[in-house]
Structure 1
Amino acid sequence: MQKWLLLASLITLTATSAFIYWPLDAEAEALQKVTPSPFLLEKVKTEEWMLIDVRSPQEYAEGHIPGAINMPHDKIDGYIDQLQDAKDKPIIIYCRSGNRANIAMKKLEQQEFMDVSHLEGDIMGWRESGLPINKM
């Protein structure tokens, strides 16, 4: 009886552990998110954090987060040398809805940028939060 109870406990523990940890693969863990906030603006203003808008130059000109640098996602490889000084600081990336930001994040992570995060909600979430937007 005790053997069956021990076996059942081990199966339950193993199944529970697999269920809890299964979705947390390395790729999912790498997709950190930062919430839109005035705190983010302050960190960017003091240059403690870098904020990168990976939308097109036209979209950037129509409205971007103050302090954001425009580096279109399809040209992000060309900016790697410029980003070397920021390799040790948090980098937050956004686009319109998230697709281009995820592409750019993966490229930076492949270049060993260790602290790359995604702005939750991207520019649309920022606007919905009522936070400031700069226009060119």
Structure 2
Amino acid sequence: MIQRIQSLYLLLASICSVGLIQVFDLWANEAGNTYYALSLLNENNLILKIIPILFIVSGIMSIVSVFMFKKRKNQFVLNRLNILVNFILLGILIYYLLILSGESQISEKGIGVFLPIVVVFLLAIANKAIKKDEDLVKSVDRLR
């Protein structure tokens, strides 16, 4: 399971989704308050509450996908759904950052906004490795 390269990519994706959201901030306002993904659960806005939930869902899907190593097709589909979740998350983050008027609430964007892009990249190369394994198994089956 861990000896496969896609498992390493999936573990890195789950670390980015769940672990790094606690390290890197999403944005800071002009008062100097920094906002992390998990601190958005205390906000009143529904869009802001969805952001940490989608980060956690993405991390859980990556971890579940690591343990589906015997069912490569299901693992591939779950990774594609995870990519979709991360694109939705990225869209919500960009929407929220662009809908606010200028410097009134957000004065500095953090690196945490780019974490879904990193996760999508890791999931895409994991899917490429899964496809390579599946093709290898199919070619061996043809020889029998």
Q: TM-score, normalised by structure 1?
A: 0.23
* Higher helix proportion: 2
Higher relative contact order (CA 8 A, sep 6+): 2
* Higher strand proportion: 1
Q: TM-score, normalised by structure 2?
A: 0.22
Structure with higher Rg: it is 1
